[in-house]
């Protein structure tokens, strides 16, 4: 699994576990909702600043976005 795929799965998993919509996460991270959508379907390679903003909005360390997903 690529880093982009891990980020994709983890952003979605964390967002849903916190009961956030894509719009609410985007607002909290200072991003646009379409960017969240593209990240969650692994169609966008987020920059470090975007990863940091997402992690902050999700209240997790940035490294959590790269945590291997258990199947």
| CATH number of the domain that residue 16 is part of | 1.10.260.40
Number of domains the chain is built from = 1
The domain in which residue 34 lies consists of 3-66
pTM (2 decimals)?
Answer: 0.93
CA distance 48 to 30: 14
- From the number of C-beta atoms within 10 Å of its C-beta (0-12, 13-18, 19+), residue 70 rates as exposed
- pLDDT by residue (tens digit) across 47-61? 999 999 999 999 999
- pLDDT by residue (tens digit) across 2-56? 999 999 999 999 999 999 999 999 999 999 999 999 999 999 999 999 999 999 9
CA distance 36 to 38: 5
């Amino acid at each position: 699994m690529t880093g982009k795929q891990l980020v994709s799965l983890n952003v979605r998993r964390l967002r849903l576990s916190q009961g956030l919509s894509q719009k609410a996460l985007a607002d909290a991270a200072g991003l646009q909702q379409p960017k969240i959508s593209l990240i969650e379907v692994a169609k966008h390679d987020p920059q470090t600043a975007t990863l940091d903003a997402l992690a902050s909005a999700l209240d997790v360390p940035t490294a959590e976005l790269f945590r291997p997903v258990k199947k």
